[in-house]
Amino acid sequence: MRTPNRLINESSPYLLQHAYNPVDWHPWGAEAWTKAREENKLVLISIGYSACHWCHVMERECFEDAEVAEVMNTHFINIKVDREERPDVDQIYMLAVQLMTGSGGWPLNCITLPDGRPVFGGTYFPRRRWLHVLQQLAEYYRSQPDDALAFAARITEALRKLEQPGTEATASLSLDIAQTLYQAWQPHLDRTEGGFDRSPKFALPNSLQFLLNYAVASGQAEPAEHVLLTLRKMAYGGIYDQIGGGFARYSTDARWHVPHFEKMLYDNAQLISLYAQAYRYKGDPLFRSIAEQTFQFVVRELTSANGALCAALDADSEGEEGRFYVWTLDELRHLLDADYDLAVHYFRLDDAAHWEEGKYILLRHADEQALADAFNCSLTELQLRLDRIRQRLLEVRNQRPRPQRDDKEITSWCALMISACCDAYDAWNDPNCYALALEQGQRNWEHFSSDPDLGFAHSRMNDKRTAPGFLEDYAFSAEAYLNLYRITFDETWIQRARALVQFADEHFYDAQRGTYYYTASSEQSLIVRMAELSDDVIPASGSAMARLLWRLGRLTDDTSLISRSERMLRSMLDHMNRYPMAYSNWANLLLEHVVPWQELVVAGPEALALRQELARHFLPFALLAGSTKASTLPLLQNRFVENQTLIYVCHNQVCQQPVHLAAEALRFLNITPASKE
């Protein structure tokens, strides 16, 4: 009978996966650090997450091995961390490992002194190498403690200098700066497969958002065409689940064909937003269908019985990566019978879709009309047959042992999904998206307002707090509230966004530097207190906060918020010029500051109906406000005429003559109304 370790009392699915390891794991907390100091032992911090394939591999090879566990338990105090619960811990030790090795990833393993300062780190280690590393480190600390102390001091001092804003630029902000940034991006764009010229290949939705916004700002077609190419290639590839919808975290190759099969809420939320905005920009029905199917995936597979949005689905099932998602030709031939030949062509079941050992990852034929012609049927008939094939395969797949779901409710990720629902509702008026946005928005607010002194929990499990709130939780949630205002014209959401900004100002803001820390002032367990400024697969909380201040300031005519946003942007310009692709959300903020903005104000009893007509167009540099009744919002004062609904097109609150029809307002913006398929 196996004996559990201390992790058995935790709620994180990732920590519970390790609860029966022979390693004497501690959760992150004071007990482990006190023991390390008392016994003067190195601390082994191992960080991962429940959906991580290589985390599972290292567990099987190392942490479940008795000999390895004995070495770890003898010479180290061992701490296991769920990076999704404690991204603050992950941020520090990931940066430390990157400083020491030049790369990072998960599982992340960092060895520290008893006070938490790092002395060694790496990612995945096979068993033999891991044993060698542990034994060498134990001997190093025993025989050369002064060297270890000196090295740890240097690394910690280097950490203090990372993720710091620069000197505020005094030069004028202009579109020329954005042009320079785009020119630096261009050599890294994959002109054939979309995305960026690297593998593994991540979607990086915020980077694509910058390209789309820049295309509108500059009038250049090329950056937008690259976004559209990328979205089509992803939709046709294995990174997208062709049967159940939803995107895997990344592709292991440059063609989007072979995914790393884990599915994360934050990826899918951001991609729903991006596909919805691309649909508003281009009107391609492919983009709408991908966003709708991804929304349905989130509702079906990432929503718990109590209504919580869950964090992730594992890459593995039955001990194998991707087993839940792949097929053999014999399986498909048996299941599909007369439709098998069509499936072979549509899902590209040749060398393109073959993965390994006779297993196939379903891809997608790009030209359905050509396929309909080849099979001598109409496009409608083809789509009916394809729907029948997908439904049959989904029914069979649902009978397989499922990948484990991580049921953590992560505040910031849920907020991204609220914003995604708002974007989808704007694009095609989907009542299901509207309902989920409101439901999750109210749930988010109740998590904050239930204990306003504590603020948000970053993560919750079974409605219990499991980690403190971080800046991203406030920035993304307040942004979601402003998006909820946009689709409802309910000013309560603006007031709630203000409340979150006020809380962030009190607990995270550094007035001297004019920026925000990632952790609250009450957090005392970390070796350094850092900001989060570099944008990655999710926008940095710092850039998200700066964009929030700008948008809230414009909406409420609060120039102090706009000035703070500009100060934050100016402090980042030097970083942006040196490493343009690492600051895509700051680049979006730059566009917002330099592109002439319009305010679209709708006032009157039919305001919501007219709002929908306006919102279905891609208007990245227009602020939409309105009400069906009198309002004290500055944009809406003196805008109401009895028994009429009027649209005002304004710039810095100086307005054109009001009009009655959305088409008339759009002409002021040089937009020709066009129907979308």
Summarize pLDDT for 194-237 with one digit per residue, the tens.
Answer: 999 998 999 999 999 999 999 999 999 999 999 999 999 999 99
* Helix (H) / strand (E) containing 291: helix 285-301
Collapsed DSSP state (helix, strand, coil) of residue 304: coil
The helix/strand/coil state of 46 is strand
- Do 565 and 549 contact (CB within 8 A), yes or no? yes
Q: What is the dihedral of CA 462, 467, 471, 474, to 10 degrees?
A: 20
359 bridge partner residues: 356
Q: What is the mean pLDDT of residues 664-673?
A: 79
Q: Above 70 in pLDDT, residue 674?
A: no
Higher pLDDT, 523 or 148: 148
Alpha-carbon span 78 to 75, nearest angstrom: 9
* Mean pLDDT across 135-139: 97
Q: Mean per-residue pLDDT for 244-256?
A: 96
What is the DSSP secondary structure assignment for residue 198, as one 8-state letter? -
Share of the chain above pLDDT 90, in %: 89
pLDDT confidence tier of residue 524, bands split at 50, 70 and 90: confident
Instruction: In whole angstroms, give the CA distance from residue 29 to residue 502.
Output: 29
Contact between 55 and 48 (Cβ < 8 Å): yes
Is the pLDDT reported for residue 289 higher than 90? yes
Which of the 8 DSSP states describes residue 312?
A: E
> pLDDT digits over 321-346, tens only?
999 999 999 999 999 999 999 999 99
| Alpha-carbon torsion, ordered 501, 505, 510, 514, to 10 deg | 50
For 56-89, write each residue's pLDDT tens digit: 999 999 999 999 999 999 999 999 999 999 999 9
CA gap 225, 232 in Å, rounded? 11
Give me the mean pLDDT over the 608-636 stretch: 94
Sign, CA torsion 147/153/156/157? negative
Q: Annotate 400-414 with DSSP letters as a single string.
A: SPPPPEE--EEHHHH
> Could you give all domains of the chain from N- to C-terminal order, each with its CATH number?
6-161 (3.40.30.10), 190-317+406-594 (1.50.10.10), 325-399 (no CATH), 598-668 (no CATH)
* Residue 163, phi then psi, degrees to nearest 5: 50, 40
Q: Interior CA angle at 236 toward 233 and 240, to 5°?
A: 100
Phi, psi angle pair for 489, to nearest 5°: 60, 25
Write out pLDDT tens, residues 357-409: 999 999 998 888 999 999 999 999 999 999 999 999 999 999 999 999 999 99
Percent pLDDT > 70 in the chain is: 99
Residue 656 banded pLDDT, cuts 50, 70, 90: confident
pLDDT of residue 451: 83
Would you place residue 178 in the very low, low, confident or very high pLDDT band (cuts 50, 70, 90)? very high
Checking if the pLDDT of 672 tops 70, the result is no
For residue 676, the model assigns a pLDDT of 41
Element (H, E) at 88: helix 87-101
Predicted confidence at residue 303, as pLDDT, reads 97
Distance of alpha carbon 46 from its chain centroid, rounded? 23
Q: Which has the closest alpha carbon to 623: 611, 610, 605?
A: 611
**Residue 642 pLDDT level (bands cut at 50, 70, 90):** confident
Give the pLDDT score at 673: 52
Whether the pLDDT of residue 577 is over 60: the answer is yes
Give the chain's end-to-end CA distance (angstroms, integer).
61
Q: How confident is the model at residue 450 (pLDDT cuts 50, 70, 90)?
A: confident
Residues contacting residue 643 through CB under 8 Å, at least 6 positions apart: 605
The average confidence (pLDDT) of the chain is 95
Q: In whole angstroms, what is the distance from residue 149 CA to residue 158 CA?
A: 14
**Do residues 308 and 457 make contact, with C-beta atoms less than 8 angstroms apart?**
no
What order do you get walking across the sheet with 118-122 strand by strand? 25-27, 76-82, 42-48, 108-112, 118-122
DSSP structure class, residue 173: P
Q: Is a pLDDT exceeding 70 seen at residue 51?
A: yes
pLDDT at 675 over 80: no
Q: Residue range 274-301: average pLDDT?
A: 97
pLDDT at 479 over 90: yes
As a whole number of Å, the CA-based R_g of the chain is 26
In order of 68, 364, 426, 494, 612, the CA distances from 609 in angstroms are 65, 37, 11, 20, 5
